[in-house]
Structure 1
Amino acid sequence: MKLGILQTGTAPDALKDKFGDFPAMLCDLVGPGFEAKTFDVVQGAPPSIEACEAYMITGSPAGVYEDLPWIQPLVEFLRAARGRARLVGVCFGHQILAKAFGGEVIKSPKGWGVGLHRYGVEERGPWMDAAEEVRIAVSHQDQVVQLPPGCRVSLTSAFTPYAGLAYEDGSAISFQGHPEFDPEFAKALIEARRGVRYTDEQADAAIASLAGPNDRERVAEWIRGFLLGEGYGRPN
């Protein structure tokens, strides 16, 4: 399957040599069976929809509500791609899909979500297994606060009610968390942001949480199941 990675942000320079950048993390997450190509949509226009059978959207330090020159072209691309390619978003990718399809995203007054968060399974998609909850790394302040039409909640928590979304037409799924972040990268990212985005107390608690059970591999299988399911390459 031809898989396009829509890159909307980069890992801190100090961490790239050891951990790689966001597109590489997503490729490692979904594993073999994909012919992946990265498209930097911050520096250039989105690709033609027909270039790939599916697209994944990375995380980003940007907010989907910001007046940046690349945001609206990406929104228009996602709207046009819906129904023509499978779409998967993580963090910013989760939020930009919601915005593109009619939802609302804001900078949450709840503040930063960071560390390992636990989510309950609200509604099970055909690409999911029988798990009742999952734990994955998170790093976000923005949240989806209004669902797009034709969207179901797959994962939820008290802090992030719309933590996982699945679109009823089978076109897209998305996650607020970062299943592509392994615990060591998540820890290093927190340390890089200590005293800048997070207080010492927040950073210490978040790092401690990352020692717990992590379901990133399970979520990776969900994403693979969605991408490579029956009729893969185009929504059911």
Structure 2
Amino acid sequence: MAQPESSTYAPSLRIAVLLNSYKSPFINQIRQSYVKTITAVSPESKLTFFYPAEKNEFPNPQDFDLIVVGGSNVDPRKSHDWIQQVHQFVLSVIRDHPDKKLCGVCWGHQTISRIFGGEVVDMDYPELGVTEVKLTIHGQQFFQTAATGRSKVLRLQQHHRRAVSVKPRGFISLSEANHCFINEKGTILTFQGHPEKDAETAKLRIKDIERWFQLNIQNQAIVSEVFRRMELEDDGPIVWKRILEWVVEVPRAEN
């Protein structure tokens, strides 16, 4: 992973993470991936995990500096009760705690987009492994202190077969292809990619190459190539450092 250029750490924060996977056999590893990547850039930050899909758990926004709406193994377009509760939770945070910072990752990115009028569609070709995404002018400005030396792109682990096709209302594109948004007030930031995933965590889902691409999981040449893509350098630490810096920034409406 690319390391933040500065030797200084990001702010120490209280972070709530919503893990939205339903009966995932990898939930412990997913949880640890958040702990590993965030504490690498902010050792004193404290993470607390919640499980809306299985335990109907949600944080009290007053207790946290940042709320992360994480990934899931469920289609965000479904109307399950717990998905609707996630929608209501996000809306209640925005209504009752308008300056609270929210960050959506993968499923969270897609779900927040849908809440604000964006559309999610099946991709013609799923993305798997580290992928380079071009930043817009707004994205280059937002990440300018973090992506030095590669200021026009971000590289993150991707693991999805759905994408946002229509930008949500009131949001600004920080990257091409609707991979990263920030709302106009500057309180909601979302990523299609996974800043929390390292290669080890990404490899847990290698069997998806059979479901998504009809590739033979027994073919070592194929598996080795996918592993190679997952092992490419990514900007997870750079992104987390910038996210935590953004959390303590004053929302635009108050500047």
TM range (shorter): 0.7 to 0.9
- TM-score, L = length of structure 2: 0.78
SS of 2:173's equivalent in the other structure is: strand
Output the aligned Cα RMSD.
2.6
Shift in CA distance, 11/68, structure 1 to aligned 2, threshold 3 Å: closer
Give distance in 2, aligned partners of 1:62 and 1:198.
19
Q: Report deviation, 1:50.
A: 2.5
Q: Does 1:137 align with 2:157?
A: yes
Give distance in 2, aligned partners of 1:210 and 1:103.
29
Give distance in 2, aligned partners of 1:40 and 1:128.
34
SS of 1:81's equivalent in the other structure is: helix
Q: Report deviation, 1:121.
A: 1.1
Q: Report deviation, 1:217.
A: 1.7
Q: Report deviation, 1:218.
A: 1.4
Counterpart of 1:221 in structure 2: which amino acid? K
Shift in CA distance, 138/11, structure 1 to aligned 2, threshold 3 Å: farther
- Equivalences, count: 224
Shift in CA distance, 184/36, structure 1 to aligned 2, threshold 3 Å: closer
Counterpart position of 2:167? 147
Q: Which has the higher contact order (CA 8 A, sep 6+)?
A: 2
Alpha carbons 2:113, 2:168 under 8 Å: kept: yes
1:99-158 Cα distance to aligned partner (Å, 9 max, x none): 1222111222x13111111011112354652421121110101111111111111122xx
Give distance in 1, aligned partners of 2:23 and 2:195.
15
**Which protein shows a greater Rg?**
2
1:13-47 Cα distance to aligned partner (Å, 9 max, x none): 2x56xxx4323322322222322211111121433
SS of 2:68's equivalent in the other structure is: strand
Alpha carbons 2:33, 2:201 under 8 Å: kept: no
Counterpart position of 2:10? none
1:203-214 residue pairs with structure 2 within 5 A? 205-214=225-234
Shift in CA distance, 42/208, structure 1 to aligned 2, threshold 3 Å: same
- TM-score, L = length of structure 1: 0.83
Counterpart of 1:30 in structure 2: which amino acid? I
Q: Does 1:118 align with 2:137?
A: no
Q: Does 1:81 align with 2:96?
A: no
Counterpart of 1:214 in structure 2: which amino acid? D
Q: Which runs of 5+ in 2 are unaligned?
A: 1-12, 217-221
Counterpart position of 2:77? 65
Shift in CA distance, 181/68, structure 1 to aligned 2, threshold 3 Å: same
Counterpart of 2:249 in structure 1: which amino acid? E
Counterpart position of 1:28? 36
Give distance in 1, aligned partners of 2:179 and 2:224.
23
